[in-house]
Amino acid sequence: METAPETKKPTKAKGASVPQRQYPMERTRNIGIAAHIDAGKTTTTERILFYTGLIHKMGDVDDGNTVTDWMEQERERGITITSAATTCYWTQKDDGSYKTFTGLPHRINIIDTPGHVDFTAEVERSMRVLDGAVAVFCGVAGVQPQSETVWRQATKYKVPRIAFVNKMDRTGANFENAVNDMRKKLGAYAYPIFLPIGKEDHFDGVIDVVNQKAIVYDPSDETGLKYQVTDIPADLQDSAKAALAELIDAVSNKDDKIAELIIENQLIAPEVLKAAIRRLTCKIELVPVLCGSAFRKRGVQPLVDAVVDYLPSPLDVPPAFGFLPGTDTKVEVPSDDSDKFCSLAFKLWTDPYVGKLVFFRVYSGRLSKGDVIYNPRTRKRERVSRVMMIQADKRIDVETTFSGDIAALVGLRNITTGDTLCDEDFEVMLEPPTFPEPVISMAVEPKTKADREKMGEGLQRLAEEDPTFRCFTNEETGQLIIAGMGELHLEIIRDRLFREFKVSANAGAPQIAYRETVTKAAEGEGKFIRQSGGKGQYGHACVTLEPNGRGKGVEIENKIVGGTIPKEYITPVIHGIEEAIKGGVLAGYPVVDVKVAIVDGSFHEVDSSELAFKMAGIFALKEAAKKAGAILLEPIMKVEVTTPDEYQGDLMGDLNRRRGKIIHIEAKDASTIVTAEVPLAEMFGYATAIRSLSKGRAAYSMEPFRFEPVPNSIVAGILDLAKGKPAARA
Is 115 found in the same domain as 211? yes
Q: Which pLDDT does position 684 carry in this prediction? A: 79
Q: Is the dihedral of CA 362, 365, 370, 376 positive or negative?
A: negative
Indicate if 45 and 191 belong to the same structural domain.
yes
Does 17 fall in a domain?
Answer: no
- Considering the domain boundaries, does residue 3 fall inside one? no
Higher pLDDT among residues 463 and 103, named by residue: 463
Q: Identify the domain boundary among 281, 310, 339.
A: 310
Element (H, E) at 715: helix 712-724
Closest by CA position to 297, among listed 552, 59, 626: 59
More confident residue, 336 or 70: 336
Please, what is the end-to-end C-alpha distance for the chain in angstroms?
A: 40
Q: Looking at the structure, do residues 371 and 394 belong to the same domain, yes or no? A: yes
Separation between Cα atoms, residue 338 and residue 16, nearest integer Å: 7
Cα–Cα dist 156/164, whole Å: 20
**Average pLDDT of the segment spanning 355-364:** 87
- Is 33 a domain residue? yes
pLDDT score recorded for residue 125: 82
CATH number reported for the structural domain that contains residue 244 in this entry: 3.40.50.300
CA distance 172 to 670: 9
Whether residue 539 is found in the same domain as residue 610: yes
Whether residues 478 and 608 fall in one domain: no
Burial 98-118 (b: 16+ CB within 10 A, else e): eeeeeeebbbbbbbbbbbbbb
User: Is residue 10 included in any domain, yes or no?
Assistant: no
More confident residue, 62 or 14: 62
CATH number at residue 356: 2.40.30.10
Q: Where are the beta strands (DSSP E) in 243-300?
A: 287-291
| pLDDT at position 615 | 93
Residue 325 lies in a domain: yes
Q: How confident is the model at residue 412 (pLDDT cuts 50, 70, 90)?
A: confident
Distances 409 to 154, 332, 399, 429, 437 between C-alpha atoms, Å: 26, 24, 12, 19, 28
Q: How many domains is the chain partitioned into structurally? A: 5
In a domain, 395, yes or no: yes
Quick one: pLDDT at residue 614?
93
pLDDT tens column, 281-331: 999 999 999 999 999 999 999 999 999 999 999 999 998 888 988 788 888
CATH number at 716 reads 3.30.70.240
Domain shared by 302 and 326, yes or no: no
Classified as helix, coil or strand, 457 is: helix
Residue 48 lies in a domain: yes
* The domain boundary residue, chosen from 255, 276, 310: 310
Q: At what angle do helices 610-627 and 570-583 cross, to 10 degrees?
A: 50
The helices-and-strands tally (H runs, E runs) of the chain is 16, 39
Strand pairing class (511-512; 440-446): antiparallel
Cβ contacts of 606 within 8 Å, gap of 6 or more: 535, 536
Grouping H, G, I as helix, E, B as strand and the rest as coil, residue 684 is: coil
Residues 682, 607: one domain? no
Task: Please write the tens of the pLDDT for every residue from 507-541.
Answer: 776 678 889 999 999 999 999 988 766 678 899 99
Q: Are 341 and 362 in contact (CB under 8 A)?
A: yes
What is the model's pLDDT at position 676? 94
Q: Is residue 171's pLDDT more than 60?
A: yes
Partners of 484 in the β-ladder = 440
Mean pLDDT along residues 385-397: 79
Secondary structure string (H, E, C) spanning 494-533: HHHHHHHHCCCEEECCCEECCEEEECCCEEEEEEEEECCC
Q: Do residues 221 and 336 share a domain?
A: no
Give dist(CA 392, CA 68) in Å, integer: 5
Average pLDDT, the chain: 84
> Which residue, among 147, 81, 68, 170, has the nearest Cα to 109 in the 3D structure?
68
Residues 306 and 336 in one domain: no
Q: Lay out the sheet containing 555-558: strands in order across.
A: 522-530, 537-547, 594-602, 555-558
What share of the chain in percent tops pLDDT 70? 88
E strand or H helix that includes residue 635:
strand 630-644
Q: What is the pLDDT of residue 644?
A: 85
Beta bridge partners of 433: none
Q: Which domain holds residue 694?
A: 634-724
Above 70 in pLDDT, residue 68? no
CATH number of the structural domain spanning residue 450: 3.30.70.870
Same domain, 396 and 292: no
Partnered with residue 125 across adjacent β-strands are none
Longest dimension (CA), the chain: 102
pTM: 0.72
Q: Are 480 and 416 found together in one domain? A: no
Tell whether 332 is covered by a domain: yes
Decide: 420 and 429 in contact? Cβ < 8 Å: yes
Q: Which residues contact 66 (CB under 8 A, 6 or more apart)?
A: 42, 43, 45, 46, 59, 60, 75
Q: Is there a single domain that holds both residue 196 and residue 293?
A: yes
**Domain C-terminal end among 245, 276, 310:** 310
